[in-house]
Structure 1
Amino acid sequence: MQEQASTQPVPHKRKPRLAAIEYIRGISMMGVIAIHVGSQYIMNTSANVHLIALFEVASRFSVPIFFFISAFGLFYNLDTTVPFDYRSFLKRRFKTVLVPYLVWSLFYLLHDGILYKVGFPDPLHLLTILFFGNAKYQLYFLVILIWFYLAMPIWIYMVRRAGKVSLLLLLAVQIAFDYWSSFSVSFNVFVYGLPDHSVLKPFLMYRLNYWVFHYVFIFVLGGYLAVHIKEFQAFMQKHRTGITLFFWASLAWLLAFYYKLLYVDGYTALEAINTAHQLSPAGIFYTIAASLFFFTIFTYQRYPAWLNPILHQLGRHSYFAYLVHPFFITYAALALQHAGRIMTAPVSLAFYCVILGLSMTAAILCRRLGEKLPLLNEWTIGVYPKKK
């Protein structure tokens, strides 16, 4: 979603641009919007469970794959053989992530405070909201990303020493940790059993908003493949068929899990999507498969060339579209409610297209306006004028 920038403090020859990173960013933004539109559609008690699967299950790679491409972009132009300038790195990344995060958080707090007549939070509550990324439901991603940046020396250390065996061990630990965090009955009973005034409770309740441990493997994998780009390209070229089969098999596994929850275990659709998610074992493998699959097809481009300009625009404006789309969802949902329209399957599909269209249009217009008023791009997407 965010604009990629060089993180290398020592001048060196930049590597060739990889269109796959930009294209994946756009596809992932579309998936995130699908998840949030699905959250509107699922409120219809007669919602089609198969369309819910499209909105809420098939798109589940969308958030974790952002960590994959973020790490890939960071390590692709990073020389891991020279000393890492941590201070310079944080300065650059905070300008592209922390500033937009604070600006958009304040925007949504002010907007929602007026719209829902709840006012602006007091200073202590404001700090809590900003720490956990709770100003709006999509902003937690930036909080986790900031924590990843803060721990960058750790990831460099891990990527430098990573190999096939250590990556497999890390994957096993990742599956075990995510399963414990998501499905451990004793742990979750403990968390929900804490009194509301407990200081510990929000730190555990909102652990998905800032615990980078949930996504360490996919981040390190992205960094590892970027450092070993030549080997990765050879692997993609040699195993295109296998990567494609892995993608569809992992999707089938995740969907099978979703349908089992519905038809065998008697879960509601909401309970099912909250269980068959990206942190489940099936979801983790689906994320890995999607990362390899999309990188492969966008690298070797066995599809019509006319799609590339569209994918370019989706990727270029994905950061702003990601950040602004809840604003349009709010007013589109209010318009439907005012018109007395129910979110049926056809309406939800049209709703998705409208939200995507409005978000992209706003992103393009603001980006162009930001070329004349640089502060707009600096504050909203962390893009600064190129130094002459």
Structure 2
Amino acid sequence: MQEQAATVSRPRKPRLAAIEYIRGISMMGVIGIHVGSQYLANTAANVDLIALFEVATRFSVPIFFFISAFGLFYNLDLNAPFDFRDFMKRRFKTVLVPYLVWSFLYLLHDGWLYGVGFPDPLHLIVLLFFGNAKYQLYFLVILLWFYLLMPLWIWMVRHAGKASLTLLLLAQIGFDYWSSFSTSFNLFVYSLPDGSILKPFLMYRLNYWVMHYVFIFVLGGYLAVHIDAFMNFMKKHALGITTFFWVSFAALMAYYYKLIDKTGYTPLEAINTAHQLCPAGIFYTIAASLFFFMVFTYQSYPGFLNPLLHQLGKHSYFAYLAHPLAITYLGMMLQHSGRIMTAPIAIAFYFATLILAMLGAILCRKLGEKLPLINELTIGVYPKKK
């Protein structure tokens, strides 16, 4: 996944490798979630492996909103006038263009592969608005909505403090719980007739309602603006951050196992409940954001991993956008072989998907150096001006 800094009005600050490395980790987690969905087709799937694929990775999408905001605010002068037009022009080039290109590629590909053809104009507009051309593309839609509301986030970050952030967190927990678990609200949504104009706007609310992730986005911006204090905080409270991460991880996993062992949920029902929008998931996301930023900032791991982390981060955008193709064709190969996706096969399937997505990203990036239009259309990267 790709993110560039916002319009700047002062000298750029030092590059933070943590942003790039977290981007790669986020991409790997998303692939895990989607491979886990394939593995769930096995009715005898191992619940522990499902937990690894589908629950442990649940920070993956919201943590990218955290680093997106961090990257945007890191070099932004809050006291200078904000050029919204220039900002959106840059965002459209880096996000909207690749979004449209990949949407059309998937619609053409899936229309040919599954024999469903290309959607009619009205259906096409609906698909593009909600990001439903392929299951991972909704992320770019909600990111564009975050960009469109950038003046609001600047105002919120400028006025944010401990008290307001605490209130925002409480509001976030309440809103996400209502959206995800309110019986009356969800019954109302599903009771709407299929021809209702309102129904898709409510059914696909996760695809464009930025309210689901406002806190983690604002937190990323706030910490970027107060980078020196954030650095000191991470250094001074490394043990506390680490403890927070593992405790929140354990809490989310315990919730998942409780749903299966005590409540009687199926694995599918459990992962659709113990996700990033439940209270435990929200705290897990916050903890993961602080933990990975701290680890990658202060090198709390072997240094020889840095080149690998760099490559994962550099090519994460293309890999994120392209990995469903790898899943599709690997799944077809598995189906033609007559094999069931057992736990060992699921693990191999995951690494095969990751490797193929990365190889595709590296190859296209190389081709894009000779034919810049490839990189411009697929990942929003343009040649540097001389």
Cα distance between partner residues in 1 of 2:292 and 2:109: 36
Tell me what 2:102 maps to.
104
1:54-133 mapped onto 2 (5 Å cutoff) = 54-133=52-131
Cα distance between partner residues in 2 of 1:303 and 1:257: 29
Tell me what 2:331 maps to.
333
Tell me what 1:5 maps to.
4
Cα distance between partner residues in 1 of 2:141 and 2:257: 32
Tell me what 2:35 maps to.
37
Whether 1:176 and 2:182 are equivalent positions in the alignment is no
Cα distance between partner residues in 2 of 1:264 and 1:38: 23
1:306-330 superposed Cα distances (whole Å, 9 cap, x missing partner):
0000000000000000000001100
Cα distance between partner residues in 2 of 1:381 and 1:48: 36
Whether 1:263 and 2:251 are equivalent positions in the alignment is no
Cα distance between partner residues in 1 of 2:313 and 2:326: 19
Tell me what 2:162 maps to.
164
Shift of 1:235: 0.1
Aligned to 2:303, the other structure's residue is in SS state: coil
Whether 1:193 and 2:164 are equivalent positions in the alignment is no
Tell me what 2:138 maps to.
140
Letter in 2 for 1:379: L
CA contact (8 A) 1:21 1:73 kept: yes
Shift of 1:8: 2.1
Cα distance between partner residues in 2 of 1:238 and 1:8: 32
Shift of 1:101: 0.1
Tell me what 1:221 maps to.
219
Aligned to 2:153, the other structure's residue is in SS state: helix
CA contact (8 A) 2:63 2:216 kept: yes
Letter in 2 for 1:6: A
CA contact (8 A) 1:181 1:187 kept: yes
Cα distance between partner residues in 1 of 2:204 and 2:142: 11
Tell me what 1:322 maps to.
320
Tell me what 1:296 maps to.
294
CA contact (8 A) 2:7 2:86 kept: no
Whether 1:344 and 2:342 are equivalent positions in the alignment is yes
Cα distance between partner residues in 2 of 1:126 and 1:360: 29
Shift of 1:238: 0.2
Tell me what 1:153 maps to.
151
CA contact (8 A) 1:336 1:342 kept: yes
Whether 1:243 and 2:269 are equivalent positions in the alignment is no
1:131-163 superposed Cα distances (whole Å, 9 cap, x missing partner):
000000000000000000000000000000000
Shift of 1:9: 4.5
CA contact (8 A) 1:162 1:224 kept: yes
Tell me what 2:366 maps to.
368
Letter in 2 for 1:333: G
Q: How many residues align?
A: 386
4+ residue segments displaced more than 3 Å? none
Shift of 1:13: 1.0
Cα distance between partner residues in 1 of 2:101 and 2:21: 26
CA contact (8 A) 1:37 1:329 kept: yes
Letter in 1 for 2:171: V
CA contact (8 A) 1:9 1:85 kept: no
Letter in 2 for 1:220: V
Cα distance between partner residues in 1 of 2:6 and 2:213: 21
CA contact (8 A) 2:59 2:288 kept: yes
Shift of 1:208: 0.3
1:17-56 mapped onto 2 (5 Å cutoff) = 17-56=15-54
Cα distance between partner residues in 2 of 1:310 and 1:81: 38
Identical aligned residues as a percent = 76
CA contact (8 A) 1:174 1:214 kept: yes
Letter in 1 for 2:270: A
Letter in 1 for 2:93: K
CA contact (8 A) 1:9 1:88 kept: no
Cα distance between partner residues in 1 of 2:334 and 2:4: 40
Cα distance between partner residues in 2 of 1:133 and 1:302: 37
Letter in 1 for 2:95: V
CA contact (8 A) 2:73 2:225 kept: yes
CA contact (8 A) 2:62 2:213 kept: yes
Where in structure 1 are there 5+ consecutive unaligned residues?
A: none
CA contact (8 A) 2:8 2:75 kept: no
Cα distance between partner residues in 2 of 1:164 and 1:124: 46
TM-score normalised over the length of structure 2: 1.00
Shift of 1:120: 0.2
Cα distance between partner residues in 2 of 1:43 and 1:325: 19
**In angstroms, what is the RMSD of aligned CA positions?**
0.5
1:67-88 superposed Cα distances (whole Å, 9 cap, x missing partner):
0000000000111110100000
Aligned to 2:301, the other structure's residue is in SS state: coil
Q: Out of 251, 254, 258, which is 1:253 matched to?
A: 251
Where in structure 2 are there 5+ consecutive unaligned residues?
A: none
